[in-house]
Structure 1
Amino acid sequence: MSVRELVVLGTASQVPTRRRNHNGYLLRWDGEGLLFDPGDGTQRQMLLAGVAASDITRICLTHFHGDHCLGVPGVVQRLSLDRVPHPVTAHFPGSGAEYFRRLRHASPFHDVLDLREEPVTSDGPLSTGPFGHLEARALDHGMDAYGYRLVEPDGVRMLPDALAAHGISGPEIRTLQRDGEIVANGRTVTLADVSEPRPGQRFAFIMDTRLCDGVYALAEGVDMLVIESTFLDRDRALAEDYRHLTAAQAARVAAESSVRTLVLTHFSQRYDDPAEFHDEAAAIFSGDIVVAEDLMRVPVPKRR
């Protein structure tokens, strides 16, 4: 059975708090495990969240500020220690390749991991597989930063009543799906006769940035948007100065981009009440809103 969910490992911004670890997010997507922005302490948060090193198939860094990448050494060494048998692909801004090299080899260890570096150097697709395709878009944070978007191809949903009406069953269904048509009871039946369109699911991950074209390109039509909301709108001037978003801005992006579930995270330590982020976003966005907490699990919404 396929599982699609977000496991939240950390939700703080630059300074962790008693309740919030530095960043870390694992997206379980069928057979893939995409680890986004592992900050300091991610390896321990994985233990607390019940995430095994072998669950990770990709590491995706948005940029090289410490709260988004200082967990890389521990995670990479744990992957090697556990002798994870599959390759792990690492995506990160190409201009920071030297930083990634230093993180990967921060201390001596017995390195038996097949870690494949695929730096991001421009907008566009990064990788394609059974999961769909992963793409990146540049953000606006004063240093090279990229957000990520996972897109599952559109497909079809077979209609049992229509199949039965045409007398199609068993292996014939697979033949119809493969070839697009089949002869049943002396009549040609096409895939369109016995199915309906099934939109693919989409996920986007956006961290430290001001509003920019890349934010909207990533968020457009996604089922789940994980997005920083470091500040509340009363501190919008600070958000602009430090190139971050407010909860209101994140909610506006979600509303204008037809997002289904909005996950707010990356909160400044200056705020004590998480409900403020929810209330600010809810005044603008009418969809599902999740104010992320460490170690929570958020299911990707069911298909439209």
Structure 2
Amino acid sequence: MELYFLGTNAGIPTLHRNVTSVALRLFEERRSLWLFDCGEGTQHQILKSSLKLSKLEHIYITHLHGDHVFGLPGLLSSRGAQGITAPLTVYGPPGIQAFIQTSLELSQSRVPYELNIVEHTGGVVFEDDGFRVEAAKLEHRAECYGYRVIEKDLPGSLDLKRLETYGLKPGPLYGRLKRGESVELEGGGWVHPADVLLTPKKGRVVTILGDTRPCAGVHQLAKGADLLVHEATFSAELTELANEYYHSTAEQAAKAAAEAGVQELILTHFSSRYKDMEHLQPLLEEAQQIFPNTKLAEDFGLYPVQRRCSAGGNP
């Protein structure tokens, strides 16, 4: 599980940063890719990356401001032009369906794959055997939601020493036990998964917020997360401006991370006044004074989601 940033700027693109979009790479977990927001130029950023639209399974939209959705019609159309037939689901606030359908109809774009559009107002928006995605309302000028991606706990590894005591050798029976099935021994008797599986691995939690100023929804989504992606449009000296425009400062993002007990914080959605990474260093420093494990998001930056260590030191 890894985050790959395709755009980290607020409002408009610059020479160094595109507008908002971040991909959650789930190649090992489900051989797919999820996208969070899709600002103008996102498909161009994907072309410059190792990401493939054929792997794209879900798109989660936080709100309908242009720097978060103007790339969506083009990406959906290009996906069809590439001959991709796998289904795709777009989740977003009320209005996302009208935006997509109107854009595609008026531009006479072909979408030769199953396109599902799910409008929501928070709560659990997706769940299957491996993941659950929750949404909660944030405080912004437009109706805006953040997302909490919860990886469900994974079965523990097989205890090879215990397996040896039962006379079991590597093969199909290992796989059955790993899947939670009991197996019958050749000499009689049964081996159950609980007999040979180590402690389950705790699933990871990734919180990706849309635009917001400090509010209760931030804490609800971020509580105990392994990784929090939080906007930091301005530095602390511009707190009043941030509040006026319903945005956050780097300092406020760090406070949110500390209060929620997250493991790692990544700042993104930077104002164009901070022209490059050098100009963003003061934002990083003010955040790290409060929450040391903070990083700045960079376009085309890859950030693994680390699994918390257990009490015994094992992930």
Give your verdict on TM over 0.5. Answer: yes
Higher mean alpha-carbon deviation, 260-269 vs 106-115, is at 106-115
> Which residue of the partner structure matches residue 12 of structure 1?
9
Higher mean alpha-carbon deviation, 184-193 vs 108-117, is at 184-193
CA separation of 1:180 and 1:113: change in aligned 2, threshold 3 A: closer
Q: Displacement, 1:39?
A: 0.6
Higher mean alpha-carbon deviation, 270-279 vs 71-80, is at 270-279
CA separation of 1:217 and 1:174: change in aligned 2, threshold 3 A: same
Q: 1:277 aligns with which of 279, 283, 306?
A: 283
CA separation of 1:254 and 1:110: change in aligned 2, threshold 3 A: same
Q: Displacement, 1:177?
A: 4.0
Are the counterparts in 2 of residues 73 and 105 from structure 1 also a CA contact under 8 Å? no
Q: Secondary structure at the match of 2:127?
A: strand
> Which residue of the partner structure matches residue 40 of structure 1?
40
> Which residue of the partner structure matches residue 101 of structure 2?
101
Q: Which has the higher strand share?
A: 1
> Which residue of the partner structure matches residue 234 of structure 1?
237
Q: Secondary structure at the match of 1:293?
A: coil
Runs of 4+ in 1 over 3 A off after TM superposition: 103-106, 161-194
Are the counterparts in 2 of residues 255 and 286 from structure 1 also a CA contact under 8 Å? no
> Which residue of the partner structure matches residue 286 of structure 1?
292
- Consecutive unaligned residues of structure 1, counting only runs of 5 or more, are none
CA separation of 1:190 and 1:213: change in aligned 2, threshold 3 A: farther
CA separation of 1:130 and 1:226: change in aligned 2, threshold 3 A: same
CA separation of 1:151 and 1:204: change in aligned 2, threshold 3 A: same
Q: Displacement, 1:168?
A: 4.1
What whole-Å deviation, never above 9, does each CA across 1:201-222 have from its counterpart, x for those lacking one?
1211102012222211211222
CA separation of 1:278 and 1:111: change in aligned 2, threshold 3 A: same
The letter for the 2-side match of 1:68 is: H
Distance in 1 between residues matched to 2:289 and 2:175, nearest whole Å: 47
What whole-Å deviation, never above 9, does each CA across 1:173-215 have from its counterpart, x for those lacking one?
3444455666768776654443113101121110201222221
Distance in 1 between residues matched to 2:17 and 2:72, nearest whole Å: 18
Distance in 2 between residues matched to 1:48 and 1:72, nearest whole Å: 17
> Which residue of the partner structure matches residue 126 of structure 1?
125
Percent identical: 36
Q: Displacement, 1:143?
A: 2.1
What whole-Å deviation, never above 9, does each CA across 1:225-274 have from its counterpart, x for those lacking one?
22211111111111111111111111122222222221110001122412
> Which residue of the partner structure matches residue 135 of structure 1?
134
Distance in 2 between residues matched to 1:172 and 1:50, nearest whole Å: 36
Distance in 2 between residues matched to 1:167 and 1:264, nearest whole Å: 52
RMSD: 2.2
Are the counterparts in 1 of residues 2 and 24 from structure 2 also a CA contact under 8 Å? yes
Distance in 2 between residues matched to 1:177 and 1:111, nearest whole Å: 40
- Consecutive unaligned residues of structure 2, counting only runs of 5 or more, are 310-315
